Amino acid sequence: MKLDIISGGGTSTLRLIDNDTIPAGINQVRVGEAILLGTDTTHGQAIPYLSQDAFILKAEVIEVKSKPSVPIGKVGRNAFGDKPAFQDRGIRKRAIVALGRQDVATDGLSPLDDRTFILGASSDHMILDVEESVSEIKVGSHIAFRPNYHGMLNLCNSKYVNKAYKGGKAWLNSYKESNQGLLSNL
């Protein structure tokens, strides 16, 4: 039987193509993560010839306060059954954004500002340490994140997350300029 299409894998197969070691006859590779995020989770790397900025998540800041990095009193389990651990870093500037675990697995997100850190999340809010952020964080501003595949999957399927297409290099250049150099690596 002659087959017109012989599918030979997904994103992880790109390495075989790059090294010219893909088995003869394979004429289709189903790349999902690579095309969408420019990454290959199986090898833990960005794919240098693909874009890693196709999906950017922005969450609105709803509170900013300086608070102790360790809660006062006994720490119990959260609503998800986890018992969080805290590192004592003194009083830190914290931001709460209107985004939580009902929207995305927060471990699937990385703040674009590498001086901002996700501390935890409830169902509908996420807490970030913004003490050393390069931007002025205030109520009403937005914090941008890059999702991994798991995060992107959650976000795309969440009915609580607004999706907007902002295509093209003109938009990206405008976004870079308006974000005080946070995106200079894009």
Dump the DSSP string for 92-118. Answer: EEEEEES--TTT--GGGEEESSTT-EE
Q: Is residue 102 in some structural domain? A: yes
Shared-domain flag, residues 47 and 117 = no
Ranges of residues in the chain with a pLDDT under 70 are: 166-186
Shared-domain flag, residues 141 and 127 = yes
**Backbone angle region of 73, left / alpha / beta, with phi > 0 → left and psi within -120 to 50 → alpha:** left
Shared-domain flag, residues 14 and 65 = no
* DSSP helix/strand/coil, 119: strand
Shared-domain flag, residues 20 and 98 = no
Tens of pLDDT along 21-36? Answer: 999 999 999 988 998 9
Beta bridge partners of 111: 145
Q: Is residue 169 in some structural domain? A: no
pTM for this one? 0.78
Token pair recorded at residue 29: 């590779």
- Whether 93 and 136 have beta carbons less than 8 Å apart is answered as no
Shared-domain flag, residues 28 and 43 = yes
Number of domains in the chain: 2
pLDDT at 185: 44
pLDDT at 151: 93
Shared-domain flag, residues 113 and 148 = yes
Q: What is the DSSP letter of 129?
A: E
Which residue bears the tokens 């240098």? Answer: 48
Shared-domain flag, residues 15 and 100 = no
Shared-domain flag, residues 48 and 68 = no
CATH code of residue 125: 2.40.37.10
Domain that holds residue 45: 1-54
- Phi/psi of residue 36, each to 5°? -80, -40
